[in-house]
Structure 1
Amino acid sequence: EVRQDFYRLAKFNFKLVRIFLTWEDFQPTPEHIPASALDNLKTVADIAYSNRLLLMPTFFCGHMSGVNWVPAWMLEKSVGKNRFPVFSNGSLVGNNIRNFYIDSDIIEAQKWQLEKVGLALKNHPAVWSYDLGNESSNCVIPPDRRAAHYWLKVMTVQLKKYGGNKTVTLGMHAEDLEEDRHLWPQDAALSCDFLCMHGYPFYLNWVSPQDVYVLPFLALVTNWLSGKPVLFQEFGLPTQPVIASPLPASESYGTCPLWTETEGLAYYNKAMKLLQQVATGALGWCYADYSPALWTKPPLDLNPHERHFGLFRHDGSPKPAVNTFMEYDSFCPLPFKPISHQYSHIFHGMDQNEFYINPTYNLRRLYQQYKKNIVNAEHPE
């Protein structure tokens, strides 16, 4: 299956693939990193290399598609009301997640995973960069900035020690800018080689659902706060299935809208054009729609729109938006390029260290200035 998927991606001129190391699979107990998981990972890297693809392995997953997936040893005994469902050991559970930013036992376990994976993939030509987490603030939030900074420093030092001379980043998302979750981009920049941002306008309550301009804006804010290059690591939108759905139509839609594939093509075209001006690269979310065989399982049962984010349909056929990535085949994260400063004046008079005093207000105000500026540039009088 991986061979088929990677061959298809290479055929359509994709260059970088982000993969996720499911925490429960790679560390079922704190002391155990299964040799089979490491062997499978090395095989995946070999297949990527044979197809001239680069990989970005993402650790400690973690949060994904509206569910937090964690091994049983990461759970507290206490039960609470979690924002996102927690899935562990084959079922949904009500337990709270232990805070890995301050739990010394978990930090040691994470270091162990980084060591074993780093050694397994050390100097592998397919590994481009490592990612220390996917929207981790949706799992747990560090109690303060000091704890977040310490955790990132420990993780990056460990990974560079055992993983070779590979860059390290962190998969942040728009909510890390909307709220003070104690992991600021300027703090992440002290340890990470570059930063990542994720953005979906239909998840934001201060822009319209298809407002594609918010994507480059989020990249600009992240760059302004951190001073580091920004890879726009996730963007996309779910599209209406064109293959006959095996479920009733009433079950195929949720609170998030689905767009036509033609609308998806237009969205991706505009997004790539805008992101090329401000980001060092961009990754579409995601590779393919989920097979209908998985639609009744978490998270696809409660979040039906998550079934249809793929650039390819579940049968492997490409959606029209794939053509966008072929057109922008030179827009990839190698090498890092300087970010344009043509919009730097929108931050005039603002102090990065004061941004999180009122982050949502600041985002709204800055976005109004940015949107006015870019619309005037696109439609001069």
Structure 2
Amino acid sequence: MRFGVNYTPAVGWFHSWLDFSPSDTARDMEQIASLGADHVRVFPLWPVVQPNRTLIRQAALDDVATVVDIAGSYGLDVNVDALQGHLSSFDFVPSWLDSWHRRNLFTEPDVVASTAAYVEALAAAIADKPNLLGISIGNEVNQFAHAPHPAPHDTTAEQGHAWAATMVAAARRGLVSGREARLGPDPSASVLAGSRPTPLVTVAQYDAAWYDDAQPFGPEHAADHGDATVTHSWVFNGSAALHGPLGAGSVRHGEYLLQLAAAWNREPGRLNWLQEVGAPTNVVDPADAAAFTEQTIRHVAGAQDVLGVTWWCSHDVSRTLADFPELEYDLGLFTNDGRLKPAGEAFAALARSGLPAPAAPPSTAVVLDDVLPDGSPRSGVRADCAPGGRFAAAWLACAESAEDGRGPQVVLRSRLSDAAHTAARGIRSTVEVPDDLAGAAISVAHPATLP
């Protein structure tokens, strides 16, 4: 399992892209590498790179490429997020999408075309980097699609699919054209040529995609687009309030999201990436942060097909910067001046020791009723999966009773009759969720009951 860190620059936070300093970046990357991490996720600010719909600044692209090179000099691979988008309660949307020029991010043809041009240019600028882990389309861009965003860009699930497919295609075109421009023609017209690893293209969403039935971007958008399914785990979503900061429902939340992701993946074996997880001090006491970090990562390591865990974040936000929510100032593995914190020590101990991938996936799966008996879609599925929901409670009960300590898989009712699918995932028995969790026992079906 890979260990990574979301990179928050110690000097100037993400505003540092306005006056980029290679020396500051090198210092930060050296500290991150000292943890035993193997990758970082970096966040160029969209308005800095594309301040006008038809202007993509080459100097800004060069700065991104330099960050990738600096990280590589310390043995770190890099995932680059394109659309920032949203970071730590602040929106970074170009002026050509706001106020007098307000247009829909997801559906306006000129906006979609210009955004895709930026994604393609960014991918092309770094395509030849040997330490490029991949491109994520953006940081939780789905938060722009619905409340609680104060000014959402209304869209439908179908429009969300079209938008995501357009952005993924743009990133892949950029990876191909950028590699060919610098390394010569590729006869296969693919970034797969040669021994160089293939950069991943991913779509990152916050957990409303899994838990909020009103959110236009849902599990299918995560599972159907790109090369891996991304999850972001934050226990201030109700998990810690329900279970306590070190309760099973909190320290297993990242593991649970990974199992939900695997259920929605159409192809067994598709990689799942816990791309954001942290110990937010509004619900996790700083004294518990190290224990929360260790337990969360150990549970994640027990899930199948896990690409890795990428912790949020590298450095605390400086208190010289105003107006952040209080928890944002204390999420780093390092303090703002570079001192390693207890959570950082816990992360480093696991990263340096390594956690081997499990030999086999959990053999039991909890059945998620995504369809009605007649096969039509069932409403309220995501609410059932949210913290405190009926399905979430059933999964947690199974996880806590498992002899090997690993949480069960999740299988969709709509796919339960596909014997090839369940066999490929190693599912040999299933658990039905009782109608009344308070008064009913959870029963495990024998393998013979599976098709």
TM-score band w.r.t. shorter chain: 0.7 to 0.9
- One-letter amino acid of the counterpart of residue 318, structure 1: L
Specify the alignment match of 1:238 in structure 2.
280
Deviations 1:257-303 (A, max 9, x none): 4612x410100110011001123311111111011211x2x4x1xx1
Specify the alignment match of 2:170 in structure 1.
158
- One-letter amino acid of the counterpart of residue 225, structure 2: S
Q: What SS is found at the alignment partner of 2:68?
A: helix
Specify the alignment match of 1:340 in structure 2.
361
Residue 314 (structure 1) aligned with residue 314 (structure 2)? no
In structure 2, relative to structure 1, the CA distance for the partners of 1:202 and 1:144 (3 Å cut) is same
Of 121, 126, 129, which residue of structure 2 is paired with 1:121?
A: 126
Of 208, 216, 219, which residue of structure 2 is paired with 1:185?
A: 219
Specify the alignment match of 1:374 in structure 2.
399
Specify the alignment match of 2:251 in structure 1.
212
1:203–1:209 contact (8 Å) kept in structure 2: no
Residue 138 (structure 1) aligned with residue 143 (structure 2)? yes
Specify the alignment match of 1:94 in structure 2.
none
1:201–1:207 contact (8 Å) kept in structure 2: no
Distance in 1 (CA, whole Å) between partners of 2:301 and 2:52 is: 42
Aligned-pair CA distance for 1:183: 2.0
RMSD: 2.7
The normalised TM-score by structure 1 is: 0.81
Distance in 1 (CA, whole Å) between partners of 2:170 and 2:355 is: 24
**Unaligned residue ranges in structure 2 (runs of 5+):** 1-23, 147-153, 177-190, 192-198, 406-451
Aligned-pair CA distance for 1:332: 8.4
- One-letter amino acid of the counterpart of residue 272, structure 2: V
1:220-369 alignment runs, 5 A limit: 220-227=259-266, 228-239=270-281, 256-257=282-283, 259-260=285-286, 262-278=287-303, 279-294=306-321, 296=322, 298=323, 300=324, 303-329=325-351, 340-344=361-365, 346-347=366-367, 350-351=370-371, 354=377, 357-363=380-386, 364-369=389-394
Specify the alignment match of 2:232 in structure 1.
198
2:145–2:216 contact (8 Å) kept in structure 1: no
Range with greater deviation from structure 2 (155-164 or 321-330): 321-330
Distance in 1 (CA, whole Å) between partners of 2:313 and 2:262 is: 24
Aligned-pair CA distance for 1:162: 1.5
The normalised TM-score by structure 2 is: 0.69
The structure with the largest alpha-carbon Rg is: 2
**Unaligned residue ranges in structure 1 (runs of 5+):** 79-96, 240-255
Q: What SS is found at the alignment partner of 1:373?
A: helix
Specify the alignment match of 1:12 in structure 2.
35
Aligned-pair CA distance for 1:113: 0.7
2:222–2:230 contact (8 Å) kept in structure 1: no
2:369–2:381 contact (8 Å) kept in structure 1: no
Distance in 1 (CA, whole Å) between partners of 2:294 and 2:333 is: 13
Distance in 1 (CA, whole Å) between partners of 2:92 and 2:355 is: 29
Q: What SS is found at the alignment partner of 1:57?
A: strand
Residue 169 (structure 1) aligned with residue 202 (structure 2)? yes
User: What's the % identity of the aligned pairs?
Assistant: 22
Q: What SS is found at the alignment partner of 2:115?
A: helix
2:203–2:225 contact (8 Å) kept in structure 1: no
Aligned-pair CA distance for 1:43: 0.9
Distance in 2 (CA, whole Å) between partners of 1:337 and 1:131 is: 27
Distance in 2 (CA, whole Å) between partners of 1:129 and 1:355 is: 35
